[in-house]
Chains A and B, each alone.
Chain A
């Protein structure tokens, strides 16, 4: 129960930061995508199910407040959470390379998906422009933020895990 509340809190805080504080911290009108970091971090730390549900919740919030159609962000975030969950077996706490690579890949998939589903269907075929001006800058900024935010999420997860182990061993 406590884990659920903490997870939802992390998502809500990421969402709030992304649409308020990070607007002021934008570099060249590019903001990092904190929801992707949360979704994929929970994915590879906790597995497919948690990743999916975290992604679904993040996506629904993005849909209601930022999107034009309900369900599109929910779909891509759910898929990203699931895909990251597949890498749970390769994940170790002390290794930062895999998380960085996974989050970068998630960002890339997310950006390309949004381009294909919204902009290409509107007849904007200049993919390289969108790649160079939005997808890649967002990816780089997100990676920079990951270096900080990931540590926080990791720390929270570790704290929750030790607590759960302690309460589990009490019963045994």
Chain B
């Protein structure tokens, strides 16, 4: 019976059907969000297992960290202490400037503060399994209020953007991924540029920036790059990294170069997700403008 069953449908027909199904899936993606039900299945089968493996991994790395020697800890402590001192000095200086800024902003009636976004912490539970793309999965999804296009920070820098949300997980595309494009701004000169991820630079941990106008403003190695105010998806003022190399392009109109990102993408464990998207802010701004007009 079994043998007869296998002979009834030749394997080429099955192949033909599967290929058609794949093609249909590829085409249907244009019109509908085809991943929905599959994502739902994945959320209750694969994601819990990923969380489990990740939990064991975290426990093991904590365990090995316990065995680091006292000397190493002392050295680290000293380093951190000196860093704290430096930061305290810088902080006082910045606070003075902050007061001045607030006073001036009041004069100009600018009250938007871009510095304090609400954030939620999340664990990285899995990475992209292919060598072609750079994305990761975090353990919070729409049940915790994560939505598409939310910006993701790691440490002090921008790590990526949420591209796909399941009930209990979300997919984040990192800014070093080949298909990533971020509108950036050089902090010291306020010139705009485009920060592009590149597969060819991914293993060096560097990213490219392009289309920086070749004007009189000097941009030096070590300058900070942040996200710009014109981006439609990235919030303003998120730290991307430091300029590590800069060249004038052959057309003599623009400059391009490399950025060392502030985030170490090879060892991402915890990230912060900013819970408001740029679109929310644009809408809120529009509403405020409308109500002002109404008055």
Are the CB atoms of B18 and A52 closer together than 8 Å? yes
Chain B min CB distance to A143 (Å) = 15
Are the CB atoms of B11 and A71 closer together than 8 Å? no
Q: Is A133 an interface residue (CB 8 A)?
A: yes
Q: Is A91 an interface residue (CB 8 A)?
A: no
Are the CB atoms of B46 and A82 closer together than 8 Å? no
Are the CB atoms of A62 and B126 closer together than 8 Å? no
Are the CB atoms of A23 and B35 closer together than 8 Å? no
Which of B22, B45, B129 lies in contact with A18, CB distance below 8 A?
A: B129
Which of B24, B26, B128 lies in contact with A66, CB distance below 8 A?
A: B128
Are the CB atoms of B129 and A69 closer together than 8 Å? no
CA distance A47 to B12 in the complex (A): 12
Are the CB atoms of B42 and A61 closer together than 8 Å? yes
Are the CB atoms of A48 and B126 closer together than 8 Å? no
Which A11-33 residues have a C-beta within 8 angstroms of B? 12, 15-16, 18-24, 28-31, 33
Inter-chain contact total with CB atoms closer than 8 Å: 133
For residue B129, which residues in chain A have a CB less than 8 angstroms away from its CB? 15, 18-19, 22, 31, 33, 35, 62, 65-66
For residue A67, which residues in chain B have a CB less than 8 angstroms away from its CB? 133
Q: Is A85 an interface residue (CB 8 A)?
A: yes
Main secondary structure of the interface of A (DSSP, over half): helix
CA distance A104 to B178 in the complex (A): 26
For residue B49, which residues in chain A have a CB less than 8 angstroms away from its CB? 12, 16
Residue of A nearest to B34 (CB): A70
Given A20-B50, A52-B11, A64-B42, answer yes or no on A70-B127 (Cβ-Cβ < 8 Å): no
| Binding-face segment, B70-78, B199-207, B208-216 | B199-207
Q: Is A49 an interface residue (CB 8 A)?
A: yes
Are the CB atoms of B133 and A74 closer together than 8 Å? no
Are the CB atoms of B127 and A75 closer together than 8 Å? no
Which of B21, B57, B126, B131 lies in contact with A30, CB distance below 8 A?
A: B131
CA distance A51 to B226 in the complex (A): 48
Are the CB atoms of A69 and B26 closer together than 8 Å? yes
CA distance A26 to B242 in the complex (A): 26
Are the CB atoms of A78 and B19 closer together than 8 Å? yes
Interface residue tally for chain B (C-beta within 8 Å):
45
As a 0/1 sequence over residues 65 to 91 of chain A, the CB contacts with chain B under 8 angstroms (1 = contact) are 111111110110011001001000000
Are the CB atoms of B29 and A69 closer together than 8 Å? yes
As a 0/1 sequence over residues 22 to 48 of chain B, the CB contacts with chain A under 8 angstroms (1 = contact) are 111110110000110011001001100
Are the CB atoms of A71 and B200 closer together than 8 Å? no
For residue A70, which residues in chain B have a CB less than 8 angstroms away from its CB? 25-26, 28-29, 34-35, 38
Residue of B nearest to A30 (CB): B131
Which of A59, A85, A129, A134 lies in contact with B11, CB distance below 8 A?
A: A85
For residue A103, which residues in chain B have a CB less than 8 angstroms away from its CB? none
CA distance A28 to B57 in the complex (A): 21
Are the CB atoms of B38 and A60 closer together than 8 Å? yes
Q: Which of B25, B129, B135, B200 has the most CB of A within 10 A?
A: B129
Given A15-B46, A49-B11, answer yes or no on A75-B34 (Cβ-Cβ < 8 Å): no
Are the CB atoms of B133 and A64 closer together than 8 Å? no
Could you list 19 examples of A-B contacts with CB < 8 Å? A16-B53, A19-B128, A24-B57, A29-B131, A31-B129, A35-B129, A47-B11, A49-B6, A56-B18, A59-B22, A61-B42, A65-B46, A69-B26, A70-B29, A71-B23, A71-B26, A72-B22, A75-B23, A138-B131
Binding site for A on B (CB under 8 A): 6, 11, 14-15, 18-19, 21-26, 28-29, 34-35, 38-39, 42, 45-46, 49-50, 53-54, 57, 125-133, 135, 137, 171, 178-179, 199-200, 202-203, 266
Q: Which 3 pairs of residues, A with B, have the shortest CB-CB distance?
A: A71-B25, A75-B22, A18-B129
